[in-house]
Amino acid sequence: MTNKQLVATWVRRFLLEHVIGDLNLSRNTQASYRDTLSLLLPFAAKRQGKAIDQLEVEHLSADVVRRFLVHLEDERHCSVSTRNQRLASIHAFARFIGSRSPEHLAWCAQLTAIPFKKAGKGTLPYLEKPEMDAMLAAPDRRTRLGARDHALLLFLYNAGARADEGARLTIADLDLGPSPAVTIIGKGRKARLCPLWTSTASALKALVAGRGGSDPVFLNRRREGITRFGVYALVRRYAAQAARRVPSLTTKRVSPHVIRHTTAVHLLRAGVDINTIRAWLGHVSIDTTNIYAEVDLVMKAQALSMCSVPDTPRRSWHAQPGLMAFLRSL
Which pLDDT score is estimated for 279? 84
Query: Over the stretch 159-212, which tens digit does the pLDDT of each residue have?
Result: 999 999 999 999 999 999 999 999 998 877 788 999 999 999 999 999 999 898
Q: How far apart are CA 182 and CA 294, in angstroms?
A: 29
pLDDT band at 249 (very low <50, low <70, confident <90, very high): very high
- Res. 150: pLDDT tops 80: yes
Q: Is residue 135 within 8 Å of 127, Cβ to Cβ?
A: yes
- Res. 297: pLDDT tops 60: no
Give the distance, in angstroms, between the CA of residue 201 and the centroid of all CA atoms in the same chain. 25
Give me the chain's average pLDDT, please.
87
Give the distance, in angstroms, between the CA of residue 294 and the centroid of all CA atoms in the same chain. 18
- Res. 260: pLDDT tops 90: yes
Q: Which of 67, 187, 228, 269 is catalytic?
A: 187
- Res. 289: pLDDT tops 80: no
Q: What is the CB-side half-sphere exposure of residue 32 using CA atoms within 13 A? A: 18
Residue bearing the bigger pLDDT, 275 or 254: 254
Q: Is 238 a catalytic residue?
A: no
DSSP 175: E
Q: Which of 260, 261, 266, 278 is catalytic?
A: 260
Q: Which of 71, 205, 236, 257 is catalytic?
A: 257
Q: Is 292 a catalytic residue?
A: yes
Query: Over the stretch 87-144, which tens digit does the pLDDT of each residue have?
Result: 999 999 999 999 999 999 999 999 999 999 987 666 678 999 999 999 999 999 999 9
Query: Over the stretch 20-29, which tens digit does the pLDDT of each residue have?
Result: 888 888 788 8
Helix or strand holding residue 183 (H, E): strand 181-185
Q: What is the CB-side half-sphere exposure of residue 278 using CA atoms within 13 A? A: 13
Q: Is 126 a catalytic residue?
A: no
Which pLDDT score is estimated for 225? 94
What percent of the chain has a predicted confidence (pLDDT) above 70?
Answer: 85
What separation in angstroms does the CA of 192 have from each of 159, 180, 189?
10, 14, 10
Q: Is 261 a catalytic residue?
A: no
Q: Is 86 a catalytic residue?
A: no
Q: CA 214, 217, 222: angle at the middle one, nearest 5?
A: 95
Q: Is residue 193 within 8 Å of 161, Cβ to Cβ?
A: no
Q: How far apart are CA 25 and CA 214, in angstroms?
A: 23
**Total-model pTM:** 0.69
Q: Which of 104, 148, 162, 266 is catalytic?
A: 162
Q: How far apart are CA 11 and CA 97, in angstroms?
A: 9
Q: Which of 33, 126, 238, 292 is catalytic?
A: 292
Query: Over the stretch 33-47, which tens digit does the pLDDT of each residue have?
Result: 999 999 999 999 999
- Res. 300: pLDDT tops 90: no
